[in-house]
Amino acid sequence: MLLIAAAEGRGHMPTLLRAAHLFDADLTDLAAAERAGLVQVSGRSVAFRHPLIRTAAYQGAVATQRIAVHRALADSADDLDCRVRHSASAAMVPDEDVAQELQDAAERARNRTGYATASTLYRQAAELTPDTQARAGRLTAAADLTLQAGNIEEAEELAASAERLTTDPAARARLGRLHATVEYERGDPRAAVRMLTDHAADSAPGDRAAMLADAADYAWTSGNAPAVLSIAAALPDDPFVQGLAHGIRGDHARGVPLLADLLARTPDRHRAASSRSSSATTPPPSTSPPPKPTAAAGTASSARSRTSCRPTPTRRS
């Protein structure tokens, strides 16, 4: 019973008892631990006195016991995300069905803006993915979400792991976009612009325009006027890029209405942008004077860029 409580993690008594029933156990089997002060039972919950007690209870069991308990918890869970987590903990070999369930859980977390949780779930999905290309895709998603959660170094490590698994040009272009965002966040927007424009040609059909628009955004904030104008020539129908280009040329009468209309139609462009890639934060100082931004251009650029289950305890080194 103590192992079930440690593996379940939330202390949700109804779930514990449903899982315990599959082992012919019940609350009385927790009595000794409660008397010893290892756990505290209160109402419909149970809590370990210290996290290390929970870790010891879990790691002290052999693997077959832990797997059996996770399977029972998966069968007993009344929460979809908890069921998926326990199914994953019970999986000892790659399993696409479980990996897909983890990916679905990751997307639910992403929709709640739980980027760190979503990244963890994508990484778990990648570990259980049999197909190499699909594993690379899930690692790429994990890297992107890790970047959105603000962990640049870890995001780059995940991207490097994905790159070792794929030679697909579109997949590598997506990873190039992620590396570009990392370079921007590290203070090298000009390198980021080069990466985006270099990889855009190999990107998936729906990604090219977005990558070039990101490059124009980075170029604008770093004072790279020639790059903005070059991208504007490649994206004649993009109002954001064209608005920036008109501003650089000093044609504010044409540029401001484009940017103002864009803001009016999509006031929360950040939400759309963040679903594709990590957002850019405060830009670093430019080495050359940037074109003087209009109020609308600055606002548009800023707007453009801007689980209930606990994890299984692991032994700390």
Both 122 and 138 in a single domain? yes
Q: Is the pLDDT of residue 303 over 90?
A: no
Q: Identify the band that residue 111 occupies on the pLDDT scale cut at 50, 70 and 90.
A: very high
Q: Domain boundary at 90, 109, 128, which? A: 90
DSSP-assigned letter for residue 165: T
Q: Is the pLDDT of residue 25 over 80?
A: yes
- State how far the Cα of 211 lies from the Cα of 193, in Å rounded to an integer: 9
Q: Is the pLDDT of residue 286 over 60?
A: no
* Count of structural domains within the chain: 2
Q: Is the pLDDT of residue 188 over 60?
A: yes
Both 75 and 107 in a single domain? no
What range does the domain containing 83 cover? 1-90
- State how far the Cα of 242 lies from the Cα of 160, in Å rounded to an integer: 34
Position 176 in a domain = no
Taking residues 21-42, report their average pLDDT: 93
| pLDDT of res. 78 | 87
Q: Is the pLDDT of residue 283 over 50?
A: no
Position 23 in a domain = yes
Taking residues 259-263, report their average pLDDT: 89
Both 46 and 10 in a single domain? yes
The single residue listed with the structure tokens 């606002």 is: 299
Position 46 in a domain = yes
Q: Is the pLDDT of residue 213 over 90?
A: yes
Q: Identify the band that residue 287 occupies on the pLDDT scale cut at 50, 70 and 90.
A: very low
Position 4 in a domain = yes
Position 30 in a domain = yes
Position 305 in a domain = no
- State how far the Cα of 47 lies from the Cα of 209, in Å rounded to an integer: 52
Q: Domain boundary at 90, 121, 143, which? A: 90
Position 13 in a domain = yes
- State how far the Cα of 246 lies from the Cα of 253, in Å rounded to an integer: 8
Position 243 in a domain = no
| pLDDT of res. 268 | 53
Phi, psi for 41 (deg, rounded to 5): -100, 125
Q: Identify the band that residue 92 occupies on the pLDDT scale cut at 50, 70 and 90.
A: very high
CATH number where 101 lies: 1.25.40
Beta carbons of 217 and 280 less than 8 angstroms apart = yes
